[in-house]
Amino acid sequence: MTRPSRTKLAPTKLAHTKLGQSRVLSFALFCLASLSLATVSACGDRVSSHGHVINESELKQITIGTTTKADIVQLLGQPSFAGAFDTQKLYYSSQVMLQPVASVKQTQRRVIYIFTLNKNNVLEAIDLVDKDDGLTIAHIDDKTPTPGDRFGILDQVFTNIRRQ
């Protein structure tokens, strides 16, 4: 019985094999670097803006004593909210929030324009309230107790049976 002879790879085939492995390794490193770069670039601060930002050119078109409520709404759009109890005030608010990575949102800028109108819906005054003028509200982490939030599995089963 004769054994089949082992054939050795020719030097050119061996070079091609190493070249192929080198290309695969280079491609894998490129993919890993691209994925790492995409992941790191996604870890930036997130900025979001809300509301209607009123610019200087819009404010120049509004004059106290002649501009009406309809003119303001046509120029700036519907207000963010209107005064309660018929106070004849229109409020246009805007704010910019910044959320750092793994942190809580922070207000960067808040502006509220208050347009006060007279009984004839003609503009009387324009007031500006910014972030520094607003109230700071302390958030409390305590939870309001609600009935039923301490039920166990058996309590829930028997309560459901009792209701039927």
Instruction: List the domain boundaries for the chain.
Output: 46-130
Instruction: State the CATH architecture for 46-130.
Output: 2-Layer Sandwich (3.30)
The CA distance from 111 to 54, in Å, is 9
Q: Decide if pLDDT at 156 tops 80.
A: no
The pTM for the full model equals 0.56
> pLDDT band for position 2 (50/70/90)?
low
Report the C-alpha gap between 17 and 9 in whole angstroms. 10
The answer, yes or no, to whether residue 7 has pLDDT greater than 60, is no
Q: What are the CA-CA distances from residue 103 to residues 17, 108, 140 (Å)?
A: 50, 14, 17
State phi, psi for 111 to the nearest 5 degrees.
-135, 130
Q: How far from the centroid of its chain's Cα atoms is residue 10's Cα? A: 61
Encoded tokens for 43: 């870890």
